[in-house]
Amino acid sequence: MVKLYNEFERVLVDEDTIQSRVTELAAQISAEYKDAGSIVLVGILKGSFMFMADLVRQLTIPHYVDFMSLSSYGTSTESGAVRVLLDLRADIYGKNVIIVEDIIDTGNTINYLHTMLNTRQPASLKTCVLTRKEDKAKGLPVDYLGFEIPDVWVVGYGLDLADRHRTWPFIAELKPEVYQ
């Protein structure tokens, strides 16, 4: 435990702040889709699992969850090609769909997903993203955004470094020497 904390530079977003923002996002989505029938939330594994679980428990409109597994990083910090490891179970044709992601870094993954899912002709396609790197990813389409974050390596609340630190309830910045 102590060794893990030693790898953190600082806590960037604490647990209460995350939960308050998730409550706001769920209220916003519930209000905007209140006449839409039902919506489909597509969580991108593994990073979105905690955000998705907290978000959907606060929605007040009918909804379904589905998941995809993509990979862009493998176990290194180098951004590469997007691979689909697990596709949706359900057909999203004619559905109101929201992609749920933990982070936009280069924007590679969200751009790929947006293009790919649009070919399946959903009625609408929006994105709900917990964090976005404020300088790198400006201008990328995000309809519901949790937090702008600096361009540092962040872990916790679903985010990882080679699968480590994913289950902390807060978002922390790693010390550069841990990942460089």
Active site residues: 105
**Is 26 or 103 the residue whose CB approaches ligand PRP more closely?**
103
Q: Please state, in angstroms and rounded to a whole number, the distance separating the CA atoms of residues 113 and 92.
A: 13
Q: Please state, in angstroms and rounded to a whole number, the distance separating the CA atoms of residues 53 and 79.
A: 26
Task: Determine the length of the chain.
Answer: 180
Residue in 43, 107, 122, 156 binding ligand PRP, rule: CB under 6 A: 107
Cα 144–chain centre separation: 10
Q: Cβ neighbours of residue 91 under 8 Å, at least 6 residues apart?
A: 120
Q: Can residue 103 be called a binding residue for ligand PRP (CB under 6 A)?
A: yes
Near ligand PRP by CB under 6 A, which window of 64-72, 92-100, 120-128, 149-157? 64-72
Contacts with ligand PRP by CB under 6 A: the residue count is 19
The 10 Å Cβ neighbour count of residue 82 is: 15
Specify the 3-state DSSP secondary structure of 97.
Answer: strand
Q: Can residue 44 be called a binding residue for ligand PRP (CB under 6 A)?
A: yes
Q: Can residue 101 be called a binding residue for ligand PRP (CB under 6 A)?
A: yes
Q: Can residue 46 be called a binding residue for ligand PRP (CB under 6 A)?
A: yes
> Could you list the residues that contact ligand PRP (CB under 6 A)?
44-47, 70-73, 79, 101-109, 160
